[in-house]
Amino acid sequence: MEFHRTKLFTLVLLGLSLLPGSAFATLTLGISDTIDTLVFVEDGGINDASSENGVLTYIGGSELDGWITSVNTGITYPAAGSPEAPLLHLNSVDVSSSSNGSLIVALSETGFTGSPGDHIFDFNVGGVLGAGGNLTLEAWMGTGLFGLDTLLGSFNFADSGSFSNSLYNLTTAADDYSLTIIAYIDHTLFGVSSFDAEISVPEPGTLALFGLGLLGLGFVKRRRRT
């Protein structure tokens, strides 16, 4: 993937996040072949194949240079999670043609709320990478749609076959913020790649258990030292 094309797409996302009164005020998917096609799909818009609020499905591919099929589904509240218990999920299945192909897929939603302060963000990914493929998945928190203010986590996979990974990130959030998942996909030959990526904030009960687990680990370490 050429750096300047990736940078250009990122700048487009940043530009959208800074537009006052932007038309994009709901779950939105952005997809680019990094060459000459840039598509945005809104939840409930004309290119959304799902009729359920909080679920967005885009079925494309022929308009993307180097790709046969790209099927993407984004899920957030009210279908899953809530503004107070954020959840953003992206599923993508992408089939490249025999030529080289690069694809950038980004999903974003705003309106996540909560008391200002530290929050634990959970970033989980998994899928299958096609032969000759390379995939980078990023999770971001921002102040507007496609806001790229704070990187919550990033994974890169370069070996074909199945993959999975997860992380927790303790970071400070405002009382109104956005979440964005970005995938950078490269294929050097015909192949099929698919993945799921999800950002979530555990429920308070889960956070309490997480805290108890950390305390327990500290207690075990102290006992071992003594």
Per-residue pLDDT tens, the chain, 226 aa: give them: 443 445 555 655 655 554 444 444 589 999 888 777 788 899 999 899 999 999 999 998 778 888 888 999 999 999 999 998 899 999 999 998 877 788 899 999 999 987 777 888 999 999 999 888 899 999 999 988 888 889 999 999 998 899 999 999 988 888 889 999 999 999 888 889 999 999 998 765 444 444 445 445 444 444 445 5
Evaluate the CA torsion angle 109, 170, 103, 34 in order and state its sign. Answer: positive
Residue 223 amino acid letter: R
- Dist CA 78 CA 74 (whole Å): 12
Q: Which pLDDT does position 100 carry in this prediction? A: 78
**8 A C-beta contact, residue 105 and residue 29:** yes
Greatest alpha-carbon span in the chain: 65
pTM of structure: 0.84
How would you class 175 by CB atoms within 10 Å of its CB: exposed for 0-12, middle for 13-18, buried for 19 or more?
Answer: exposed
The rounded radius of gyration (Å) of the Cα atoms in the chain is: 18
**8 A C-beta contact, residue 172 and residue 81:** no
**8 A C-beta contact, residue 45 and residue 39:** no
* Rounded (to 5) percent helix, strand, coil in the chain: 15, 50, 35
Q: Where are the alpha helices (DSSP H) in the chain?
A: 3-18, 204-225
Evaluate the CA torsion angle 116, 151, 167, 177 in order and state its sign. Answer: positive
